[in-house]
Amino acid sequence: MTKIEFIEKNIITELTRLGYDQTAVNIGAREAVSYFRRASTTSKNGKIFEDCLFHAKLFAKKHASNKK
C-alpha cells in the first residue's frame, strides 16, 4: 500500500464513521490526497495524517447533504 492509498483509505473510513454521506466522503478523501501531495514535506513528522484529516473534514462539511 502506498502512502497515498493509505491516506485515501483511512480518510474514507474516518469520514464514514463520522456519518458523512458518500459524496462528501469521496470529496473529502480527494482533497486530503491533494493536500498530502502539496504538503507532505512541510508537515511535522508524524502529523501529516491529522493535517489531511482536518482538510478532508473541511471539504466534507462543505459538500455534505442536509439530509441526515
Give domain limits for the chain.
Answer: 3-63
Please give the pLDDT value at position 67.
41
Q: What is the pLDDT of residue 68?
A: 43
With cell 502506498, the residue in question is: 2
State the Cα–Cα distance between residues 49 and 33, nearest whole angstrom.
10
Indicate left, alpha or beta for 65 from its phi (over 0: left) and psi (-120 to 50: alpha).
Answer: beta
Contact 42, 66 (CB under 8 A): no
pLDDT of residue 63: 85
- Over its length of 68 residues, how does the chain's per-residue pLDDT go in tens digits? 888 999 999 999 999 999 999 999 999 999 999 999 988 666 566 688 889 999 999 999 998 875 44
Helix residue ranges per DSSP H, the chain? 3-17, 22-39, 48-63
Q: What pLDDT does residue 17 have?
A: 95
